[in-house]
Structure 1
């Protein structure tokens, strides 16, 4: 397994990160334990979760995933073998059953303490803000749209102060962002630069895959010049980049069969681009899954690639992508397809 370092730390993490958001809904506790056992055996030491998971968000299933990870730690007594990341859910209609106060001090403290209890651990290595409190373009919205009803007041200093206190208490070690924009990322970074003692955001967890390379517009330069690493989620675009939905197929128990509203990567142009990538992978005797994940792994701004699976075959193939190196010829042909159909999914 290839290792990288969390920016501005000496913490080594695997280039492949184990995503967990299906555990507690599509996957049972036993299946989650099996996945963690296999991943750790393969050198994957970086796990990502959130208080919101499993998905889709619901009052009945929220935090199930953290509980499954916690029971695995308790069973195996191996917390020291894993670099663990979790997230606080942002303010939104779909999270009112968790809390309604966004990233206020009491909400952050409550969220961290709740996660620690469920995860059966004394600390979280990387704690992330799942999405911004302000109204902006995230979760499938391609561009920023001005909204006169957005009365968000800049509370970034206060958020960082609370996170600083949690770091000083030893409950979290480092902090990161998720689903964040260039403006938001720089705003957090500048605040910690200007005010000594505030924690620095070291990573940002945004979607990135062959169908959505919008991270390269603005965010990639921030990664390079500010040394903030991308934790890429949805590298297979909800499984679309496995090719299993081509030909209008809808396999049983697949995410799009179970949750048909997850259409972010199912538009006509996205399907056309997927077909082109599928043919390219076939031309070089690769699976589309291997090529798609290897592409993400190869990007210079990637700290870790968050893969997820609902069965062991998928998990094995996803982790094995670390052994695939794409030639310049393949990468050039990927760019040709991208230039013909750029970012077909937001």
Structure 2
């Protein structure tokens, strides 16, 4: 398993990361623990979670349950030193969490302590802001995104005060590094600039959606992150299961995400299925498994820190693990770009 470092932190992780958002809902505790054991045996020591998990759907009654599942595994195994754990502070807008309150300097100590308690640990390796207070164009919000209502002075003050609050957590030893999620190129560079001015920990990573079907990161964000040493943690690298091909021809497998979230968070469109067909055809042409191809493509991108994948069931995880040593040839990488040009931004 290839290893990478998280920004300039010196924290080393596997270049694939085990996602956990179904644990405690679609995936029960025993199966989740089996997944962690299997991932570790395959060389994956990086686990991503969030205070709001599990999802599909997010409910007030289940917020924090995924962190508890991980905490039970840590308590049972005593293997805290064998894994790198990333979690996230939810931002404004989700009424299931602190009644939709935004991220503030005051909220950070409370939220960190809650995650530590549920995870049954005394430190979090990578602590991320789940989405910006000022809003975001991710999750299909780009189609009518309008940043003209933002207040730069308020945004800068928020960044400074929260960086200073994060630094207190670093000094206490409760977090080791800071990361962003669902951020923009401008936001990422501002966080880096303010840290270099001495206000707090430097951003190490950005967790944004990235897949063969969602390549918004490829331009301004790629440039910003490569120049600022901010690694991408790609979520939804299989586009919520679309790139597996299991939804082609109108199929909706039982207990699949589409059976729970019919529109797949806005990913289900008329244009997406022809795009998937093209990627499936390319995989077949080269004798590649489409799941392995999609994940390997993400892992080979020059700005990638780690590719986050999730599996609802153990057989799904076993299938993914079987292909993680795949390295795509230059020919395949170029052909994937050709398909992208024919089917750009299908959702």
TM class by shorter chain equals over 0.9
Alignment partners' CA distance in 1, 2:202 and 2:234: 19
2:278 is matched with 276
2:242 is matched with 240
Q: Tell me the CA shift for residue 191 of structure 1.
A: 1.0
Residues 1-346 of structure 1 aligned to structure 2 (within 5 Å):
1-55=1-55, 56-92=57-93, 94-143=94-143, 145-146=145-146, 153-154=154-155, 155-194=158-197, 196=198, 198-345=200-347
Residues 225-270 of structure 1: per-residue CA shift (max 9 Å, x gap): 1110000000000011111001111000100012214243211111
Larger mean Cα displacement after TM superposition, 32-41 or 151-160 = 151-160
Structure 1 ranges of 4+ moved more than 4 A: 147-152
Alignment partners' CA distance in 1, 2:184 and 2:143: 10
Maintained 8 Å contact 1:2/1:322: no
Maintained 8 Å contact 1:211/1:343: yes
Structure 2: gaps spanning 5 or more residues: none
| 1:303 counterpart SS class | strand
Structure 1: gaps spanning 5 or more residues: none
Residues 144 and 221 of structure 1, relative CA distance in 2, 3 Å threshold: farther
Alignment partners' CA distance in 1, 2:195 and 2:23: 35
Maintained 8 Å contact 1:91/1:133: yes
Maintained 8 Å contact 2:139/2:265: no
| 1:272 counterpart SS class | helix
